[in-house]
């Protein structure tokens, strides 16, 4: 498999994971951390780190909004137990 195809597949898998987490708002970050060792906030931090490595200006809240599909404050108020 060439590198471009691998990157495209990885990106598609990442988008599917983010979409799945957006649908499963009933699954709390604490549950994810306890079971999988990562959560939506971890994904946000990894996304931010990847942007920074490429010289893309972004802050943590912007990265969170990309992962959560809304502001973290809105998600927390609406879905966090």
Render pLDDT for 48-70 as a digit per residue (tens, 0 to 9): 999 999 999 999 999 999 999 99
Alpha-carbon gap, residue 4 to 18, rounded angstroms: 21
Given pLDDT bands bounded at 50, 70 and 90, which one contains residue 81? confident
Q: Which residue has the higher pLDDT, 80 or 61?
A: 61
Of the candidates 73, 76, 67, the one whose C-alpha atom is nearest the C-alpha of residue 42 is 67
Confidence of residue 23 (pLDDT cuts 50, 70, 90): very high
Cβ neighbours of residue 25 closer than 8 Å, sequence gap 6 or more: 75, 78, 79
Q: Most distant CA pair in the chain: distance in Å?
A: 44
The number of folded domains in the chain is 1
Q: What's the burial of 9, exposed, middle or buried (CB within 10 Å: 0-12/13-18/19+)?
A: exposed
User: Could you give the CA distance from residue 60 to residue 74 in angstroms, rounded to a whole number?
Assistant: 15
Tens digit of pLDDT for each residue in 3-16? Answer: 999 999 999 999 99
- Residue-range definition of the domain harbouring residue 21: 3-79
Which CATH number characterizes residue 19's domain?
1.10.3340.10
């Amino acid at each position: 498999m060439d590198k471009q195809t691998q990157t495209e597949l990885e990106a598609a898998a990442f988008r599917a994971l983010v979409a799945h987490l957006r649908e499963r708002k009933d699954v709390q970050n604490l549950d994810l951390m306890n079971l999988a060792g990562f959560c939506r906030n971890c994904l946000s931090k990894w996304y931010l780190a990847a942007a920074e490595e490429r010289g893309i200006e972004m802050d943590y809240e912007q990265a969170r909004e990309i992962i959560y599909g809304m502001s973290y404050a809105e998600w927390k108020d609406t879905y966090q137990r």
